[in-house]
């Protein structure tokens, strides 16, 4: 089966891995010219760690864990408006995306700098045209193209129908490594705004995150210059640290600027097209769970497709397995966003609530014999 995956983020690359593993032929089309850099820490916990382990990537991911031996991080997490620190493993988002890409690039066809223009579903396949490449046919199409998914727009309807804004925006960009050493863990916080600096343990890379409260803003999502002006306008006159961050932002090439928003859909598939990760069920940055649910969703979707019964059964089973888990994450996302508006968040309380929540997903053993061979690192970490 030929499967077209739209988007080479965490969800898309992880799906490509598992599809290949189960004997499918995935093609990944990514709008950007390469795997996108940028982003803050992705918190991974529970079954997401099991998925990485089953991909034999856990050790490499652990080597990139931001928290080990870094006491400054603890202070930073304590003051963050989002629940990100409840992860058992904290890894830069682009380190994770890069790890997944490296693990798949030799066996998977990646088409960068292109996107899907139209989709036509027939009884037996999906006819796809691209912005740049030649038309092709595929057996299935998976939309892993993020919060403002084009696949979702083409097949299910415009974002207004599905994207729920949580009243909060986040901007993240890279800083020179010395920022992490000098300012790592520093947080600036005033009502409705927060800024924080994060550095890698080796002192080579650092990131800034700026969060601000706002109703929905109208802007061009592809215009980084406009994003910078919006952020700079919101954070004018906020003291020395923020002033330095804004100076760095001016030259940043990797600015990620997005609303904290959730995607709410009654159905994640239609015919031969299925949605995965933020495209189908974004839980918002404030949940700290986007990467975890993308990894787990990819594992389950590919595993169900590999089981007997055809794609319609597989898509329905995937959705059934994931629903409760996603609902939980979306609850966390709304709670995380609410904390932001309550001034200094009682983060310990939030963490305890998070830790006390049941894990609603049990990974099926799509990889025969695996569970018998090794204990689950996700469960061990709890
Ligand atoms: C550069 C970047 C930085 C991020 N930073 C943060 C952060 O700091 N904090 C946070 O909580 N979340 C962040 N996120 C979102 C986070 O990565 C996701 O919530 C989570 O990892 C689930 O990933 P996903 O693969 O479903 O979606 P995404 O990570 O959004 O990946 C979607 C991919 O699809 C590609 N794409 C989009 N539209 C098209 C199209 N029309 N055609 C082809 N490809 C397309 C995108 O370029 C991207 O590579 C960031 C995402 C990106 C892309």
C-beta of 211 in contact with ligand 1 (< 6 A): no
Domain termination residue (choose one: 229, 260, 291): 260
Instruction: For residue 360, tell me if it sits in a domain.
Output: yes
What pLDDT shows up at residue 351?
55
266 shares a domain with 371: yes
Instruction: For residue 280, tell me if it sits in a domain.
Output: yes
Ligand 1 centroid vs 375 CA: distance in angstroms? 31
91 shares a domain with 14: yes
170 shares a domain with 183: yes
* Residue 161, C-beta contacts closer than 8 angstroms, at least 6 positions apart: none
Domain termination residue (choose one: 260, 276, 292): 260
97 shares a domain with 64: yes
Q: What percentage of the chain carries pLDDT values higher than 90? A: 66
> Which residue's alpha carbon is at the smallest distance from atom 52 of ligand 1?
39
What pLDDT shows up at residue 341?
73
Across the range 145-157, mean pLDDT stands at: 98
101 shares a domain with 39: yes
What pLDDT shows up at residue 355?
55
Q: What is the pLDDT of residues 317-367, one digit of tens each?
A: 999 999 998 998 999 889 888 877 766 444 444 555 555 555 567 788 876
Averaged confidence pLDDT in the chain: 87
What pLDDT shows up at residue 87?
54
Ligand 1 atom closest to residue 40's alpha carbon, by position in its atom list: 8
156 shares a domain with 188: no
Ligand 1 atom closest to residue 286's alpha carbon, by position in its atom list: 11
C-beta of 6 in contact with ligand 1 (< 6 A): yes
Instruction: For residue 276, tell me if it sits in a domain.
Output: yes
239 shares a domain with 313: no
Instruction: For residue 77, tell me if it sits in a domain.
Output: no
Residue pair 67/88 in contact (Cβ under 8 Å)? The answer is: no
CATH number, domain at 30? 3.50.50.60
What pLDDT shows up at residue 184?
79
What pLDDT shows up at residue 88?
78
Is the model's pLDDT at 159 over the cut of 90? Answer: yes
140 shares a domain with 22: yes
Ligand 1 centroid vs 59 CA: distance in angstroms? 24
248 shares a domain with 177: yes
Across the range 88-112, mean pLDDT stands at: 95
Site to probe by mutation for ligand 1, drawn from 93, 268, 277, 292 as the one with most ligand atoms within 8 Å of Cβ, is 93
Q: 193 is in which domain, residue-wise?
A: 166-260
H or E segment at 60? helix 58-63
Ligand 1 centroid vs 10 CA: distance in angstroms? 7
Is the model's pLDDT at 7 over the cut of 70? Answer: yes
Site to probe by mutation for ligand 1, drawn from 85, 128, 155, 290 as the one with most ligand atoms within 8 Å of Cβ, is 290
Residue pair 158/151 in contact (Cβ under 8 Å)? The answer is: no
C-beta of 355 in contact with ligand 1 (< 6 A): no
Please state the domain count of the chain: 2
Ligand 1 atom closest to residue 12's alpha carbon, by position in its atom list: 25
* Residue 40, C-beta contacts closer than 8 angstroms, at least 6 positions apart: 84, 92, 93, 172, 198, 207, 209
Q: Where residue 31 falls among pLDDT bands split at 50, 70, 90?
A: very high
174 shares a domain with 145: no
Q: What is the pLDDT of residues 196-251, one digit of tens each?
A: 898 887 888 899 999 999 999 999 999 999 999 999 999 998 889 999 999 999 99
Instruction: For residue 75, tell me if it sits in a domain.
Output: no
CATH number, domain at 186? 3.30.9.30
- How many degrees, rounded to 5, is the angle at CA 74 between CA 82 and CA 55? 75
C-beta of 13 in contact with ligand 1 (< 6 A): no
Q: What is the pLDDT of residues 253-276, one digit of tens each?
A: 999 999 999 999 999 999 999 999
Ligand 1 centroid vs 126 CA: distance in angstroms? 24
Does residue 156 or residue 352 have the better pLDDT?
Answer: 156
Is the model's pLDDT at 301 over the cut of 60? Answer: yes
Instruction: For residue 76, tell me if it sits in a domain.
Output: no
Domain termination residue (choose one: 245, 260, 275): 260
Q: Where residue 290 falls among pLDDT bands split at 50, 70, 90?
A: very high
Residue pair 145/12 in contact (Cβ under 8 Å)? The answer is: yes
Ligand 1 atom closest to residue 282's alpha carbon, by position in its atom list: 19
Return the beta strands (E) in the chain as ranges.
2-6, 25-30, 41-44, 89-92, 109-112, 116-121, 126-130, 136-138, 140-143, 163-176, 187-190, 193-199, 205-213, 256-263, 269-270, 273-275
Instruction: For residue 48, tell me if it sits in a domain.
Output: yes
What pLDDT shows up at residue 65?
87
What pLDDT shows up at residue 357?
57
C-beta of 32 in contact with ligand 1 (< 6 A): yes
What pLDDT shows up at residue 43?
84
> Which residue's alpha carbon is at the smallest distance from atom 50 of ligand 1?
39
Pick from 353, 356, 364, 348: nearest CA to 382? 356
148 shares a domain with 22: yes
61 shares a domain with 49: yes
What pLDDT shows up at residue 71?
42
Is the model's pLDDT at 78 over the cut of 60? Answer: no
């Amino acid at each position: 089966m030929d499967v077209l995956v739209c988007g080479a983020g965490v969800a898309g690359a992880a799906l490509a891995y598992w599809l290949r593993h189960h004997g499918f032929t995935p093609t990944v089309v990514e709008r950007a010219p390469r795997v996108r850099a940028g982003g803050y820490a992705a918190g991974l916990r529970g079954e997401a760690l099991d998925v990485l382990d089953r991909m034999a990537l856990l050790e490499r991911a652990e080597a990139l864990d931001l928290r080990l031996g870094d006491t400054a991080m603890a202070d930073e997490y304590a003051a963050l408006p989002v629940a990100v620190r409840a992860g058992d493993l904290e890894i830069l988002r682009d380190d994770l995306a890069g790890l997944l890409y490296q693990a798949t690039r030799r066996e998977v066809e990646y088409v960068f700098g292109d996107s899907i223009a139209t989709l036509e579903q027939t009884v037996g396949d999906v006819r796809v045209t691209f912005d740049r490449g030649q038309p092709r046919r595929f057996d299935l199409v998976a939309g892993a193209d993020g919060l403002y998914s084009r696949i979702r727009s083409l097949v299910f309807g415009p974002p207004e129908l599905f994207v729920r804004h949580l009243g909060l925006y986040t901007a993240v960009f890279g800083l020179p490594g010395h920022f992490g050493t000098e300012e790592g863990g520093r947080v600036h916080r005033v009502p409705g705004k927060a800024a924080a600096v994060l550095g890698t343990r080796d002192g080579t890379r650092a990131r800034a995150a700026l969060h601000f409260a706002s109703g929905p803003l109208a802007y061009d999502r592809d215009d980084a210059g406009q994003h910078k002006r919006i952020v700079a306008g919101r954070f004018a006159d906020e003291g020395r640290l923020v002033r330095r961050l804004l100076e760095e932002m001016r030259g940043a090439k990797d600015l990620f600027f997005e609303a904290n928003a959730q995607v709410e859909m009654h159905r994640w598939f239609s015919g031969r097209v299925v949605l995965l990760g933020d495209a189908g069920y974004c839980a918002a940055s404030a949940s700290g769970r986007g990467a975890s649910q993308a990894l787990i969703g990819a594992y389950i979707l590919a595993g169900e497709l590999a089981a007997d019964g055809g794609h319609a059964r597989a898509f329905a089973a995937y959705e059934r397995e994931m629903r409760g888990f996603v609902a939980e994450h979306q609850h966390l996302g709304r709670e995380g966003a609410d904390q932001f508006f309550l001034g200094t968040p009682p983060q310990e309380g939030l963490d305890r609530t998070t830790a006390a929540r049941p894990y609603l997903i049990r990974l099926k053993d799509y990889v025969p014999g695996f569970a018998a061979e090794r204990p689950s690192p996700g469960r061990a970490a709890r």
